[in-house]
């Protein structure tokens, strides 16, 4: 890589700042709004005049507590289960796709792709009717299953692509070096596969965490309603107040874990860890 000249550096800095502002401005606006009093909402200022945590109190300990906390519990539980199931199944499927030759391999991949590009909105109504009649409506399972249809295909695709570039020969090299089959797998393959599995898990988690359409259509009570759907049910302190402040506060609360996860694990979310194993 060549080192950048001063001009190039400046150019890149400008571009970076522009992209950051473009991407982060809405987030900053929501964060700012979440600290505003209801009276300030329509004043048109960006920063709150007299910052308050009232909105957070309302959703975490106040009137909207029940609505929000149960939704948060649902979101975390459902997303985690959907992610775990998707990653386990996808790991097994991708291993088979990457390493074994079996009839119908292409079919599996094409089907997965087909499922993942299918518009969610077109199956939500039939699903609504079906879930009502078999009793899955407004349950965790009723959301986990459709979430799997979103997370599984993409997990299979990313993991299969990732596993394909793992140099499986390393397993044999380790055996010749004196490892048992299990040791060879654990010491030579798992460290290489882990970042891929990890990245896939994060992607799957975010997909489930961000879903709105299934969340609002397939739930009706606090039994299973996830946060994105619950936000729509917030009401202001009085009939005449907009719940904008609480919605912003809730939005910030659900964004924080995502940001924290990415920051914590950004080192793990790197591809190209397999470089240097073999020639090239």
Partner 1 sequence: MASIVLTDIVKKYGDGFPAVKGVSLDIADGEFVILVGPSGCGKSTLLRMIVGLEDITSGDLEIGGRRVNDKAPRDRNLAMVFQNYALYPHLTVFENIAFPLRLQKGQFSDDEIRRKVELAADTLELREHLDRKPANLSGGQRQRVAMGRAIVREADAFLFDEPLSNLDAKLRGQMRTEIARMQRRLGTTTVYVTHDQTEAMTLGDRVAVLRKGELQQVASPRGLYEQPVNLFVAGFIGSPPMNFLPGVVEDDALQLPFARVPLDDRLRASIGDRGLVIVGLRPEHVEDVRVLEPDKVEAGVTFTADVDVTEWLGAELYAYIPFDTHPDVATKLEELDRDLDGEGMRSQVVVVLGSESRVRDGDRAELWFDPARLMVFDPETGENLTRDDDAAARIDEENEADRRASLERAQARERRDGDGAGAGEHAA
Interface residues with partner 1 (CB under 8 A) are 167, 169-170, 172-180, 183, 187-188, 191-192, 273-279
Considering the complex, state which of residue 196 and residue 245 has its C-beta at the smaller distance from partner 1.
Answer: 196
CB of 192 to partner 1, least distance (A): 6
Considering the complex, state which of residue 32 and residue 277 has its C-beta at the smaller distance from partner 1.
Answer: 277
CB of 9 to partner 1, least distance (A): 25
CB of 191 to partner 1, least distance (A): 4
Considering the complex, state which of residue 85 and residue 170 has its C-beta at the smaller distance from partner 1.
Answer: 170
CB of 136 to partner 1, least distance (A): 43
CB of 8 to partner 1, least distance (A): 25
Considering the complex, state which of residue 166 and residue 252 has its C-beta at the smaller distance from partner 1.
Answer: 166
Considering the complex, state which of residue 66 and residue 169 has its C-beta at the smaller distance from partner 1.
Answer: 169
Considering the complex, state which of residue 44 and residue 178 has its C-beta at the smaller distance from partner 1.
Answer: 178
Considering the complex, state which of residue 147 and residue 162 has its C-beta at the smaller distance from partner 1.
Answer: 162
Residue 31 CA: distances (Å) to CA of 26, 154, 234, 269 = 9, 31, 17, 27
CB of 97 to partner 1, least distance (A): 20
First to last CA, the chain: 17
CA pair distance 98, 181, nearest whole angstrom: 19
Considering the complex, state which of residue 51 and residue 191 has its C-beta at the smaller distance from partner 1.
Answer: 191
CB of 265 to partner 1, least distance (A): 16
CB of 1 to partner 1, least distance (A): 13
Going by C-alpha positions, the residue among 125, 262, 148, 139 that lies closest to residue 208 is 148
Residue 49 CA: distances (Å) to CA of 32, 40, 54, 218, 250 = 10, 8, 14, 40, 20
Contacts of 77 (CB under 8 A, 6+ apart): 140
CA pair distance 159, 93, nearest whole angstrom: 9
Query: Length of the chain, please?
Result: 280
């Amino acid at each position: 890589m060549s080192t950048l000249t001063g001009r190039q550096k400046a150019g890149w800095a400008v571009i970076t700042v522009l992209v950051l502002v473009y991407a982060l401005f809405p987030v900053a606006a929501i964060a700012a709004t979440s600290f505003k009093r209801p009276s300030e909402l329509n004043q048109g200022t960006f920063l709150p005049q007299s910052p308050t945590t009232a909105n957070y109190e309302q959703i975490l300990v106040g009137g909207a507590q029940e609505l929000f906390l149960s939704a948060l519990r649902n979101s975390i539980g459902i997303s985690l289960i959907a992610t775990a199931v998707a990653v386990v199944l996808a790991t097994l499927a991708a291993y088979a796709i990457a390493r074994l030759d079996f009839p119908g391999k292409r079919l599996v991949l094409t089907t997965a792709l087909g499922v993942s590009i299918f518009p969610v909105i077109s199956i939500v109504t039939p699903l609504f009717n079906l879930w009502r009649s078999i009793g899955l409506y407004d349950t965790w399972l009723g959301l986990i299953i459709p979430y799997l249809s979103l997370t599984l295909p993409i997990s299979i695709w990313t993991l299969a692509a990732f596993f394909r570039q793992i140099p499986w020969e390393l397993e044999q090299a380790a055996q010749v070096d004196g490892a048992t089959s299990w040791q060879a797998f654990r010491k030579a393959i798992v460290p290489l596969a882990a970042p891929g599995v990890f990245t896939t898990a994060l992607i799957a988690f975010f997909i489930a965490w961000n879903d709105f359409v299934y969340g609002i259509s397939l739930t009706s009570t606090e039994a299973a309603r996830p946060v994105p759907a619950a936000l729509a049910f917030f009401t202001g302190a009085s009939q005449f107040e907009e719940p904008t402040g609480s919605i912003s506060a809730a939005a910030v609360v659900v964004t924080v874990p995502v940001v924290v996860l990415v920051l914590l694990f950004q080192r793990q979310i790197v591809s190209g860890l397999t470089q240097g194993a073999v020639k090239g």
